[in-house]
């Protein structure tokens, strides 16, 4: 058993860390303040071939593996979880259904430009009345000649306000709960497709999140992913399984940021005549954080490796998401505690990680949903 990263992984890790610090950090303040994603990052990373690091080089990707993608997400999340999330969606949810199940024409028209950063993607599953119970979505797609006519509303869609296309999940046969579902690529500018509002969030301010509306939105039948009606739920599951592994790195990056800020603050803050890092209560918190971050990272890598080996990881991907997002909450809470009153002030960066990380037990399946998946996959 080899638990080490390869030489390629390590070179990439250094490269992406430098990129994050030099090219992303200067953009954070404005993006957070104005709630506008710095779109130039898509192009910049696409041109360098690491916007979608695990897709083949023939398609413009980095030709790496799942661990490479995890490294990218961790390093970007370490500097800013919001920006990381928007980019992570591009290498995952917004492209994976086309990569795995799309036609050659769809790959050339949507996937390749997305990998190159020329088109921004989004993934629309959640609706105002359908979150955890995804099979209860109400969006429909009805065949009419060479088109499908889509009606419905999608809620909380990452990149929604800035996307060039969204992979929208809809019922082609609403009588078949969970079964009669398909995925459609809907392009920006298609009549009947609009962003009804941009949402104002507590954290992750640098991602643009929106509500999308489809009103008699006519989409060519060739934009349906897959060859027949029905079976789209398996594509959604396939997409989410991959996403939940990457999510482990999103949590690890945020945890690492909180830990580094806490160590630095604890060394600088003097109380009772010495730096607070000298107090056992602080040292124990930091020691526990260091341990948990190592476990978060190692477990995420392990499941990413299993994914690369083609193993079935439905249960393990939920375990990654559940463990890393829940462990992160304790790390963030302890980080805030170490910062005392200053941590609660907007001028100290720890509050941003705290606000950003609070989301992570909710998106891409809540902790309760992950427990349901783990229980079901464990046979009870
Ligand atoms: C910032 C942000 C970005 C997002 N981005 C996207 C995106 O790009 N695309 C997309 O499709 N969606 C996106 N989402 C939606 C996200 O995936 C959902 O919020 C999530 O799936 C939970 O759904 P919900 O918010 O409707 O909560 P609900 O499903 O209403 O859940 C509310 C509470 O009830 C609990 N609960 C529900 N059912 C059960 C049960 N059976 N047993 C036990 N407890 C249960 C939940 O765990 C939760 O605690 C995003 C959300 C946010 C906030």
Secondary structure of 70-127 in the HEC alphabet? HHHHHHHHHHCHHHHHHHHHHHCCCCHHHHHHCCHHHHHHHHHHHHCCCCCEEEECCE
Those residues whose C-beta lies under 8 Å from the C-beta of residue 353, and which sit 6 or more positions away, are: 81, 254, 257, 258, 261, 332, 335
Measure 131 CA to ligand 1 centroid, in angstroms: 4
Pull the structure tokens for residue 261.
């800020």
Same domain, 246 and 336: yes
Same domain, 316 and 221: no
* Residue at which a domain ends, from 231, 249, 277: 231
pLDDT at res. 137: 98
Q: Please give the Cα distance from 97 to 165 (Å, whole number).
A: 13
Q: Please give the Cα distance from 308 to 316 (Å, whole number).
A: 13
Q: Please give the Cα distance from 197 to 192 (Å, whole number).
A: 15
Measure 132 CA to ligand 1 centroid, in angstroms: 5
Those residues whose C-beta lies under 8 Å from the C-beta of residue 346, and which sit 6 or more positions away, are: none
pLDDT at res. 1: 73
Same domain, 81 and 129: no
Tell whether 1 is covered by a domain: no
* Residue at which a domain ends, from 115, 147, 169: 115
Residues annotated as catalytic (active site), given as ranges: 364
* Residue at which a domain ends, from 115, 131, 155: 115
Count of residues for the chain? 380
pLDDT at res. 330: 98
pTM over 0.95: yes
Index of the ligand 1 atom closest to the CA of residue 365: 21
Cα distances from 166 to residues 159, 321, 355, 374, in angstroms, run 9, 24, 27, 29
Question: Which residues have any ligand 1 atom within 6 Å of their CB?
Answer: 123-126, 131-132, 156-158, 201, 204, 209, 359, 362-366, 368-369
Same domain, 195 and 110: no
Smallest CA separation from ligand 1 atom 44, residue:
368
Smallest CA separation from ligand 1 atom 37, residue:
132
Measure 368 CA to ligand 1 centroid, in angstroms: 10
Per-residue pLDDT of the chain (380 residues; tens, 9 = 90+): 788 999 999 999 999 999 999 999 999 999 999 999 999 999 999 999 899 999 999 999 999 999 999 999 999 999 999 999 999 999 999 999 999 999 999 999 999 999 999 999 999 999 999 999 999 999 999 999 999 999 999 999 999 999 999 999 999 999 999 999 999 999 999 999 999 999 999 999 999 999 999 999 999 999 999 999 999 999 999 999 999 999 999 999 999 999 999 999 999 999 999 999 999 999 999 999 999 999 999 999 999 999 999 999 999 999 999 999 999 999 999 999 999 999 999 999 999 999 999 999 999 999 999 999 999 999 99
Ligand 1 mutation target, pool 82, 97, 126, most atoms within 8 A of CB: 126
Measure 210 CA to ligand 1 centroid, in angstroms: 15
Same domain, 54 and 131: no
């Amino acid at each position: 058993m080899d638990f080490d990263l390869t030489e390629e992984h390590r070179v990439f890790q250094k490269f992406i860390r430098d990129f994050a610090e030099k090219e992303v950090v200067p953009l954070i303040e404005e993006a957070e303040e104005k709630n506008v994603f710095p779109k130039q990052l898509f192009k910049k990373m696409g041109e360098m071939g690491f916007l979608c690091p695990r897709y083949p080089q023939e398609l413009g990707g980095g030709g790496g593996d799942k661990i490479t993608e995890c490294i990218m997400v961790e390093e970007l999340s370490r500097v800013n979880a919001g920006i990381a999330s928007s980019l992570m969606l591009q290498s995952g949810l917004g492209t994976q259904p086309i990569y795995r199940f799309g036609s050659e024409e769809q790959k050339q028209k949507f996937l390749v430009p997305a990998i190159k950063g020329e088109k921004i993607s989004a993934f629309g599953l959640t609706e105002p009345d359908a979150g955890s119970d995804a099979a209860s979505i109400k969006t429909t797609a009805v065949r009419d000649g060479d088109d499908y006519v889509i009606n419905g509303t999608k809620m909380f869609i990452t990149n929604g306000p800035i996307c060039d296309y969204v992979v929208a999940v809809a019922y082609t046969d609403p009588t078949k709960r969970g079964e009669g579902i398909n995925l459609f690529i809907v392009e920006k500018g298609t009549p009947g497709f609009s962003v009804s509002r941009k949402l104002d969030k507590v954290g992750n301010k640098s991602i643009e999140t929106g509500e999308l509306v489809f009103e008699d939105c006519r989409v060519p039948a060739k934009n349906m992913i897959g060859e027949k009606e029905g079976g789209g739920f398996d594509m959604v599951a396939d997409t989410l399984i991959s996403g939940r592994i990457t999510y482990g790195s999103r949590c690890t990056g945020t945890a690492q940021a909180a830990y580094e800020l806490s160590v630095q603050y604890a060394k600088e803050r003097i109380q009772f005549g010495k730096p607070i890092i000298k107090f056992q209560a602080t040292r124990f918190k930091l020691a526990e954080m260091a341990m948990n971050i190592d476990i978060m990272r190692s477990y995420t890598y392990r499941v990413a490796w299993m994914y690369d080996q083609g193993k079935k990881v439905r249960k393990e991907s939920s375990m990654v998401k559940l463990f890393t997002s829940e462990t992160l909450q304790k790390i963030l809470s302890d980080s805030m505690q170490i910062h005392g009153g200053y941590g609660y002030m907007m001028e100290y960066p720890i509050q941003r990680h705290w606000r950003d990380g609070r989301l992570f037990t909710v998106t891409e399946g809540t902790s309760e949903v992950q427990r349901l998946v783990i229980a079901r996959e464990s046979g009870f």
